[in-house]
Amino acid sequence: MFSLERLRALDAVAVHGTIARAAESLHVTASGVSQQLAKLERESGHRLLEPYGRSVRLTHAGQVLAAHAARVCAQVAEAEADLADLQDEILGPLRLGGVGSSLRALLPEVLTALTASHPRLAPTVVDGEVVELVPRLVGGELDLLLIESWSSRPIRLPQGLAVRTLVVEDVQLAVPDAHPLAGRERVGLGELGGLAHPTGAAVWASCPVGTEPYEGLTQALREVGLEPEVRYQVTEYATLLALVRGGLCVSLVPEMAQRPCPPGVRFLPVRPAVRRTVQAAWRSRGESPAVRACVAALAEAGQAEAVRAEPAAGG
């Protein structure tokens, strides 16, 4: 009979690709994973791993057994979740992460209500960019994320994650009050480039390279034949909007990131339209009662946010 811990080690290597990353996800040492796999090879009578460059990869036998291991681990996780549901207790650590603008708009009231109803719940929160946080979610360091995906550059998530859409919102052009386009009701993104236009080519501000806002901005402008000149790369929208207010740049800013806004900044709808989707993401195998309760509360907060944004959208 195969040991569950050894099957988990094989499944982790299949999911994460290397022994080192598998060890991180299991919170054990790389040598510990190697020992488990060596024992599993002896038990199975097959070689499961083979050298591949500086790393390893699954043999054909390893792939066959890894498929069974994935099903076994999923079944065990489901059994653990069912037993947790018997008690239906929402307690213990709940490790959250997400992009700052969605955390600020959705999370404080949710956590206030959850901790009031479930005083034994102990949430922790870190902010950051999707590209940095998703590996931590997959690796088991975090339980739940608030992630963003821009319509101009939809996010691609690894397998094994469940998602629930919370908010779909417009992304608008932020310009200083003195900008030549500030009086317009709507602006074509193609108007923001080319020295032939009276406004000249725009200087842009965005989040750092590799983040969803930066890549979403870049792709949206490339779709209209422009290559943005992004001189200002900052992690906080408050700083970004201060730069816009100073007349140094323009930017694309989602609706939830527009609050609080300094005076002297205008937000203009753009064409073609750009939208941001904010989602909750968690490991399918890590859906604890605390995660489910938090996702449900976030969904309610997202509905309230949509209602709050309706007058602005209509005006």
Which CATH number fits the domain that encloses residue 52?
Answer: 1.10.10.10
> Is the domain of 138 the same as that of 61?
no
List Cα–Cα distances, 293 to 47, 123, 289, in angstroms. 43, 12, 6
Give the tens place of pLDDT for each residue, 60-97.
998 999 899 888 888 887 777 766 655 567 888 999 99
Q: How far apart are CA 57 and CA 78, in angstroms?
A: 28
pLDDT (mean) for 3-22: 87
Q: Considering 51, 86, 121, which residue would you say is the last residue of a domain? A: 86
pTM of the model: 0.72
> Is the domain of 193 the same as that of 250?
yes
pLDDT (mean) for 263-279: 96
φ, ψ dihedrals at 261, nearest 5°: -115, 135
pLDDT at 15 over 90: no
Whose tokens are 């792709």? That residue is: 219
> Is the domain of 289 the same as that of 156?
yes
> Is the domain of 162 the same as that of 172?
no
Q: Output the domain CATH number for residue 135.
A: 3.40.190.10
Q: Considering 42, 62, 86, which residue would you say is the last residue of a domain? A: 86
- Using CB atoms within 10 Å of the CB of residue 88, give its burial: 0 to 12 exposed, 13 to 18 middle, 19+ buried: exposed
pLDDT of 313 reads: 43
> Is the domain of 56 the same as that of 112?
no
> Is the domain of 255 the same as that of 114?
no
Q: Which domain holds residue 11?
A: 4-86
Give the tens place of pLDDT for each residue, 155-209.
999 888 999 999 999 999 999 999 999 999 999 999 887 533 444 578 999 999 9
